[in-house]
Amino acid sequence: MPAGVSHEMIGQSDHIHMCGGYPDGRDWDDIQEAFLSDEDYKRACKRIMGLPIPERDPATGNPMSQWHAAPSSVDGGWNDWRKSLDSVS
């Protein structure tokens, strides 16, 4: 998954191992929704939405052209929700 794609572990298996690749000096962020206030949740959403899509896939090194060509949040109808996040800093 490229930077900024939200994901959540909803189960686990001894047969699957996850690892992360964080380009351009970024690091992981262990945000757990159950422990966030409403304001912290909005701040986290703003931070995630502001992450750039890397030029290359951190795992394969392939160009991320399909991700760059994907519809924006505006095209996807997310404007109202995104604007609701502006009430937090």
pLDDT in tens, the chain (89 residues): 555 566 677 778 888 777 776 777 777 777 777 888 988 888 888 887 777 778 888 778 899 888 888 877 777 777 787 788 877 65
Tell me if the pTM is above 0.75: no
SS3 31: coil
